[in-house]
């Protein structure tokens, strides 16, 4: 429980720092007179997270999960310490990018370490508790940042870093040492390099394409680098003794079904990022209303995360949770379609439609927090667990990254087009939900 407390604190504080960036990021850019480049604070950190997540699983097996977790958390704290004492905008951007690299290395290991502490049978239940705190951080991040930034943005880090240091000590004392499953096997260096060459340029291209032009020289070059990366990755992974991506697991349609469902939910959920903007600029309501419209959904998600985690631990069944997850996403997409009919001439009706759709979409984040991270606990062998969870986590993160580019492209035709994304995503989720079935007790893939 000492170690688990440390993991909970780590998950909560780091997610709160991610969710508060929209507030303190603008405060930092304003202080250093770089408001026009504020997007760099968000983009580079997000790309760094996405690039490192698929690598984290195999690296943890190679050097030890506990050792990787503690080393990455120490680097994370060091990066934000440098950020807290930044003397210019570029220094903070670099520090936050490094924090993204380190976050990507330790976050998926949190779930595997939970299984190491409590076992695969009880792991899903405690993952539910852990993820409920992460969901609470989604709610607390922006208000906390707004409160401290009214005094000084550096307080965000002066307050949170000592708490993270406490979490580090608790984890160092309490985490168990587990076998280094890949200690005697060569690291897939080619796969690592090609993963970075694929993920980082593609993520940047999807983030910048809408603003810089999809056919501009820099975006074309980034797409070219990504194609080179994915081509090299296919070549190296076919030959690697211990591939970064769990190629063998991809032969199982049930594991792949959960991966694709998680991926497309992340794509659908990206539409929710534009809800506050639509509330303010299209419907004419103030920022206070825009800020709380998703709150009921997130509160429901906290409860569902705990309940789904307990259900998974008790029964080992995921079909029902996955069906709820998918049907709620489909329903949210259908509700959003009525926004066009409401138009800006009926702002109250539009607000009600938005609130209904975003509540459903946010509520089933409780399934997204449980199913992809605990299903591998039930069906994978111990030596496959870290890579399997990392790949699942990568799917969700990468889906959100790609969706930012898709939404940016759709934005040129009007913000309403973005709210069509959940309909398409939900339809794909439904197809793979129908393909999915629960594994038998004790069955592994």
On whether the CB atoms of residues 159 and 53 are closer than 8 A, the answer is no
On whether the CB atoms of residues 374 and 322 are closer than 8 A, the answer is no
Number of domains, the chain: 3
Residues 146 and 1 in one domain: yes
Residues 297 and 405 in one domain: yes
Residues 137 and 26 in one domain: yes
Per-residue pLDDT at 330: 93
Residues 127 and 264 in one domain: no
Residues 231 and 380 in one domain: no
Per-residue pLDDT at 414: 74
Lowest mean pLDDT segment, chosen from 85-99, 227-241, 314-328: 227-241
- Residue 218: domain span: 189-240
pLDDT in tens, 163-186: 999 999 999 998 887 766 555 566
Residues 150 and 193 in one domain: no
Flag whether the pTM goes above 0.75.
Answer: yes
The predicted model gives 64-92 an average pLDDT of 90
Query: Measured at the alpha carbon of residue 16, what is the angle toward residues 12 and 124, in degrees to the nearest 5?
Result: 35
Residues 166 and 228 in one domain: no
Contacts with 103 (C-beta within 8 Å, 6 or more apart), sequence order: 14, 18, 48, 49, 52, 72, 76
- Quickly list H helices, 88-188: 89-149, 155-174
More confident residue, 280 or 311: 311
What whole-number distance in Å separates Cα of residue 286 and Cα of residue 302?
Answer: 26
Per-residue pLDDT at 7: 92
pLDDT in tens, 421-438: 889 999 999 999 998 887
pLDDT in tens, 32-61: 887 766 667 777 787 788 778 877 777 777
The predicted model gives 69-83 an average pLDDT of 93
Per-residue pLDDT at 187: 67
List the CATH number of the domain containing 306.
Answer: 1.20.1250.20
Lowest mean pLDDT segment, chosen from 123-127, 154-158, 189-193: 189-193
What does the CA dihedral 248, 254, 256, 261 come to, rounded to 10 degrees? -160
Q: Percentage of the chain surpassing pLDDT 90?
A: 18
Per-residue pLDDT at 196: 79
Residues 180 and 254 in one domain: no
What whole-number distance in Å separates Cα of residue 297 and Cα of residue 360?
Answer: 6
Per-residue pLDDT at 208: 75
Residues 344 and 357 in one domain: yes
Residue carrying structure tokens 């880090």: 157
3-class SS of residue 256 = helix
Band of pLDDT at residue 344, cut at 50, 70 and 90: low
What whole-number distance in Å separates Cα of residue 30 and Cα of residue 89?
Answer: 9
Report whether pLDDT(237) > 80.
Answer: no
Mean pLDDT in the chain? Answer: 83
More confident residue, 97 or 441: 97
Per-residue pLDDT at 445: 55
Report whether pLDDT(215) > 60.
Answer: yes
User: What is the secondary structure of 30-88 as a DSSP string?
Assistant: HHTT-GGGTHHHHHHHHHHHHHHHHHHHHHHHHH-HHHHHHHHHHHHHHHHHHHHT-SS
Residues 193 and 135 in one domain: no
Query: Could you say which of 240, 259, 274 is where a domain stops?
Result: 240
pLDDT in tens, 281-320: 777 777 667 778 888 888 898 888 889 888 888 888 889 8
Residues 148 and 235 in one domain: no
What whole-number distance in Å separates Cα of residue 231 and Cα of residue 225?
Answer: 10
What whole-number distance in Å separates Cα of residue 68 and Cα of residue 104?
Answer: 11
Residues 150 and 200 in one domain: no
CB atoms near residue 287 (< 10 Å): 10
Closest CA to 206 of 427, 43, 315: 43
Band of pLDDT at residue 74, cut at 50, 70 and 90: very high
């Amino acid at each position: 429980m000492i170690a688990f407390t440390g993991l909970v604190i780590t998950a909560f504080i780091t997610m709160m720092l991610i969710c508060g960036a929209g507030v303190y990021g603008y405060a930092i850019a304003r202080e250093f007179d770089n408001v026009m480049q504020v997007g760099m604070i968000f983009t580079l950190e997000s790309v760094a997270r996405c690039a490192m997540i698929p690598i984290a699983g195999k690296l943890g097996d190679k050097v030890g999960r506990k050792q990787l977790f503690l080393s990455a958390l120490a680097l994370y704290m060091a990066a934000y310490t440098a950020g807290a004492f930044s003397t210019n905008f570029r220094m903070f951007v670099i520090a936050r990018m490094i924090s993204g690299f380190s976050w990507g290395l330790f976050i998926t290991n949190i779930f595997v370490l939970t299984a190491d502490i409590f076992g695969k049978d009880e792991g899903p239940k405690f993952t539910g508790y852990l993820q409920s705190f992460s969901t609470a951080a989604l709610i607390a991040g922006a208000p906390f940042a707004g409160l401290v930034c009214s005094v000084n943005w550096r307080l965000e880090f002066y307050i949170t870093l000592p708490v993270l240091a406490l979490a580090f000590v608790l984890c160092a004392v309490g985490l168990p040492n587990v076998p280094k499953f890949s200690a005697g096997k060569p690291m897939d260096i080619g796969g690592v390099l090609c993963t970075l060459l694929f993920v980082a340029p593609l993520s940047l291209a999807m983030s910048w394409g809408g603003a810089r032009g999809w056919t501009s020289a820099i975006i074309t070059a980034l797409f070219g680098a990504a194609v080179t990366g994915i081509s090299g990755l296919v070549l190296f992974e076919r030959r690697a003794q211990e591939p970064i991506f769990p190629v063998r697991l991809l032969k199982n349609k049930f594991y792949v079904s959960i991966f694709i469902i998680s991926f497309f939910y992340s794509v659908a959920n990206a539409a929710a990022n534009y809800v506050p903007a639509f509330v303010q600029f299209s419907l004419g309501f103030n920022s206070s209303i825009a800020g709380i419209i998703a709150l009921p959904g997130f509160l429901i998600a906290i409860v569902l995360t705990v309940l789904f985690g307990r259900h998974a631990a008790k029964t080992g069944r995921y079909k029902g949770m996955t069906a709820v997850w998918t049907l709620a996403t489909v329903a949210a997409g259908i509700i959003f379609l009525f926004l066009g009919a409401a138009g800006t001439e009926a702002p109250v009706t539009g607000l009600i439609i938005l609130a209904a759709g975003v509540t459903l979409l946010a509520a089933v984040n409780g399934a997204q927090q449980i199913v992809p991270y605990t299903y591998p606990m039930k069906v994978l062998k111990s030596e496959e667990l870290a890579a399997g969870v990392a790949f699942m986590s990568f799917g969700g993160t990468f889906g959100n990254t790609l969706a930012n580019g898709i939404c940016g492209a759709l934005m040129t035709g009007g913000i309403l087009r973005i709210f069509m994304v959940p309909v398409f995503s939900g339809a794909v989720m439904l197809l793979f939900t129908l393909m999915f079935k629960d594994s038998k007790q004790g069955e592994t893939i």
